[in-house]
Structure 1
Amino acid sequence: MVWGGTLVTEQAMDWDVSVTHSATSMNYGILLQGFGGIFAVPLIEAYGRLPIWLWPQVITMLMVLGATLSNDWSTFTTFRSLQGLFGTVPQVIGLPIIHDMYSEEEWPRMINIWGTTFLVGPFLGPAIAGYIGAGTDWRTSFGVLTAIYGISTMMVILFGYETNHFPEGKARSSRLASYFGIGNTGLPKGTTLLYWSRKVVVYVFKFPLLMTGITTTIDNFLHSPPYLFNTIEASSMRFAGVIGALCGWAFGHLFNDWIFKRHITVWRTELRLHGVWFPIGSMACGLLTYGLTMHFGKHWIGLAFGWILVNIGMVATIV
């Protein structure tokens, strides 16, 4: 969804709008990402993993294509919003698939890998998009994104399989039928949808969550005084997020191995909660560094270092 975050200045010039107004093209898509993930949960349980992985991927590819061919801000924003709604659905399938395919002992390591990949993407994607846009134009950059979605969709069609545990004694349906959710779970669709919809509503309204994203706001600051970054420089700044995410992955990997081996004789899953202390401190220090650097207009290294610390905490706390 943040692929075009480094291209808002060029788009503003193309559409003859302000940079601030151009940047709002991502707002609705980011909002709808939350709803897309919520809507996906009952469907995953009722129809299986594969169809809810495949068809939103196809729709998202078409939405990105529509955004690429858009000639004005309103049309572009509409397609980008729908991209956010459908594009987040394949992301939430990661945890159910890990749950299906691996044992409990392997879950932390696999979740760590999964979490790192989708947290590195929002930083690496805008960097690549910015480099392409700087050498050509923003439409070419979004054309590349369309091609990436096309390739990933073909990979799901060719190599994707239903991982949901099927009730014993019942025969699985054909591979073609599994694409459409026929016979993937062996559960009654209506009852399952109703049951999981109720559970989702309970969890959503149980406590509020607030997430503030550096990824979607940093470009406005980098292109403004005192930094005045160009597209290449702003795109390269995203590697701070990548470095932080990889460091967070390394911490999670090493900590989970260490804590398991240390308490292997009296193992309890709750012991992994000790792994949140360092990430929480890292995020707090990172936000302070980032905010104070921006407030006092200090060197951009402060922004990069703060971003690294925040991402270390974000990835490390996933497991």
Structure 2
Amino acid sequence: MTTNDLRSCSSQTSQKSVPEMNRFGEKDIYARARAVSPYSRGLILAPDGKTVLDPQPSNHPNDPLNWSRSKKHITLFTITLISCLTDFGSAIGIPTVIPQSYEWQRPPAEVQHSLSANIFCLGAGGFVAIQLSEYFGRLPVLLVFHTLGLATGIWSGAATSYDSYLAARVLNGLFSGVAQSGGLMWIKEIYFSHEHPRMINAWAGPVIVSPFIGPMLASFMMTTTSWRWPFWLYTILNAIALVLAVLFLDEPLFDRETPNAERLDCGSRWQRLLGIPQWRSRHLRPGLLSCLARPLVILNKIPLLLILLWGYFNYAWVIGVNTTTAIWLTTIYHFQPVSLGCFYFAALVGVGLGQIGGHWLHDAIGRWFAARHNGKIEPEARLLLSYPASALMFVSLVILGLALQNTWHYMVIAVFYGAQLCGLEVAITAISAFIVDAYPEVPGETGAWLILVRTTGGFMASYIQLPWVQRDGAAVALGVQAAIGGFTTLLFLVLSFFGKQIRQWQGPVNV
């Protein structure tokens, strides 16, 4: 459907009917036909003639929902690339610990503190970026933070002492998480609701696999070069991403409730890159203090808290396995750097299978649910795939523990290492689609909380994993982790049976 088509349809549409359709996060996006569905009367439909577009686009040419297909996809590609570099740059420091400890005459355990500090700061920095994005605009905040992330990446590779390197890694964590924390926000603002699961799946897959690509490439590179070259690679990729952002990204922040007559001139694209129109129109948005408080306001929503609790523990065990796999494989199976690098292909295969399967499964679940509920799909329907995905994660953890405890063949570890990530890819897409549909007013804030619980959970797991395994054995430690994850998955049952009633009782987010 072209922009002109949208404008002509929009002139016949009452924009005031749209919030009613959104009221408690219910998505009437699979209405079958205008003639037979009361939900589609007077509303703009997708090109298939059946799907009601939600949110309804305005007739303004700068509305991101009216962007061309190619512009939307290159925006998603650029945001995904910048998001991937967050964990790629963090995990690239895993295999560099040993050569750094030799160079600076520090114990490996002390050098590894830089990794834990970087992981923790990723969530905190991305959280602040989301708060500022609501006031200053998405695009200028992303460019500023990404530029500072590029600078601290250069500093990391050029550091001549451990203290300098530690400072660089801390600051790099603070600045490089901007796109990853805001990924859901960008997807929500440029795509329609029925497209969200597919686009979240396309964004989440590379993000999940990125912390495995980093150490894989670093392991290969360090067989012939110094530990600094992985960071130079990280710097080069950051520079490419910055060029793509400057050339192709545009401001997605758009208030459809403001009449066109009251809307300020959006300016030229280079002005939007600098944040000039965003600054001039700041009086149309909440004040700075309100924007800073937005992430805290949503914490009274029970469904969101339950999702965050699941994310904290289940992300933690995945990160715990990732940060300790290299140690297990080198000490138990005597892997060399090249063999270790090859092992990480298991992660690529696992996430790839989850992404390919999820591309169709999430849409299929939506169509199946809508066909049985008068063309309506509720946010809780997005969680259906999280049950088998979570079960796959927990079974994989148990078998990983048994394999390490009993020194089974390393291919068993590779298979279930990948299977755990396959389950994570499907589950994360499901819960991300749920929170975007349930609380469409705050996609950036909910996404930032997801990233924050992931990084804090990973920070916790990276500290306790090795001592726990050394004390109780891998079978017990990973078995207990699987049991904790299984218990938190029971929270999905609460949402599946009572989630809608809880959301109606608490009402929409007031920001």
TM-score (norm 2): 0.59
Q: CA deviation at 1:43?
A: 1.2
Q: Which residue of the other structure, out of 323, 345, 361, is the alignment partner of 1:255?
A: 361
Q: CA deviation at 1:149?
A: 0.8
Aligned length: 318
Q: Is the CA contact (8 Å cut-off) linking 1:245 and 1:311 kept in structure 2?
A: yes
Q: Is the CA contact (8 Å cut-off) linking 2:157 and 2:232 kept in structure 1?
A: yes
CA offsets 1:121-177 (integer angstroms, 9 cap, x no match): 111122112212212111122112111111111111111111121443321033333
Asked which structure has the greater CA Rg, the reply is 2
Aligned to 1:200: 295
Q: CA deviation at 1:85?
A: 1.2
Q: Which residue of the other structure, out of 188, 198, 205, is the alignment partner of 1:116?
A: 205
State the distance in 2 between where 1:196 and 1:79 align.
Answer: 28
Name the amino acid aligned to 2:324. Answer: T
Name the amino acid aligned to 1:16. Answer: Q
Q: Which residue of the other structure, out of 56, 61, 67, is the alignment partner of 2:156?
A: 67
Which structure 2 residues correspond to residues 86-235 of structure 1 after superposition, within 5 A? 86-166=175-255, 167=258, 168-169=260-261, 170=263, 171-184=265-278, 186-188=281-283, 191-203=286-298, 209-210=312-313, 211-212=316-317, 213=319, 214-224=321-331, 226-235=332-341
Aligned to 1:310: 420
Distance 1:142 1:259, change over 3 A: same
Q: Which residue of the other structure, out of 377, 399, 424, is the alignment partner of 1:268?
A: 377
Q: Is the CA contact (8 Å cut-off) linking 2:205 and 2:351 kept in structure 1?
A: yes
Q: CA deviation at 1:275?
A: 0.9
Q: Is the CA contact (8 Å cut-off) linking 2:217 and 2:341 kept in structure 1?
A: yes
Q: Say which is worse superposed, 198-207 or 296-305, in terms of deviation.
A: 198-207
Q: Is the CA contact (8 Å cut-off) linking 2:271 and 2:277 kept in structure 1?
A: yes
Name the amino acid aligned to 1:154. Answer: V
**5+ unaligned residues in a row in structure 1: which ranges?**
none
Name the amino acid aligned to 2:169. Answer: R
- State whether structure 2 residue 109 is matched by structure 1 residue 20: yes
Q: CA deviation at 1:203?
A: 4.5
Q: CA deviation at 1:7?
A: 2.2
Q: Is the CA contact (8 Å cut-off) linking 2:349 and 2:418 kept in structure 1?
A: yes
Distance 1:16 1:248, change over 3 A: same
Q: CA deviation at 1:246?
A: 1.0
Q: CA deviation at 1:14?
A: 2.1
CA offsets 1:237-293 (integer angstroms, 9 cap, x no match): 221111111111123212113223323432313222211111110110111122222
Distance 1:75 1:260, change over 3 A: same
Q: Is the CA contact (8 Å cut-off) linking 2:197 and 2:363 kept in structure 1?
A: no
Q: CA deviation at 1:182?
A: 2.7
CA offsets 1:40-87 (integer angstroms, 9 cap, x no match): 222121122111221111101110100111112221121111111111
State the distance in 1 between where 2:364 and 2:394 align.
Answer: 24
State the distance in 2 between where 1:231 and 1:189 align.
Answer: 55
**Superposition RMSD in Å:** 2.1
State the distance in 2 between where 1:314 and 1:20 align.
Answer: 29
State the distance in 2 between where 1:189 and 1:18 align.
Answer: 54
Q: CA deviation at 1:302?
A: 2.8
Q: Which residue of the other structure, out of 109, 118, 121, is the alignment partner of 1:29?
A: 118
- Tell me, what secondary structure is at the counterpart of 1:161? coil
State the distance in 2 between where 1:122 and 1:98 align.
Answer: 22
Q: Say which is worse superposed, 35-44 or 203-212, in terms of deviation.
A: 203-212
Give the % identical residues: 25
Name the amino acid aligned to 1:218. Answer: T
CA offsets 1:226-245 (integer angstroms, 9 cap, x no match): 22222112222221111111
State the distance in 2 between where 1:189 and 1:87 align.
Answer: 29
Name the amino acid aligned to 2:328. Answer: F
Aligned to 2:487: none
State the distance in 2 between where 1:85 and 1:46 align.
Answer: 19
- State whether structure 2 residue 154 is matched by structure 1 residue 47: no
Q: Is the CA contact (8 Å cut-off) linking 1:289 and 1:306 kept in structure 2?
A: yes
Runs of 4+ in 1 over 4 A off after TM superposition: 202-208
State the distance in 2 between where 1:182 and 1:5 align.
Answer: 40
Aligned to 1:241: 347
TM-score (norm 1): 0.92
**5+ unaligned residues in a row in structure 2: which ranges?**
1-89, 430-511
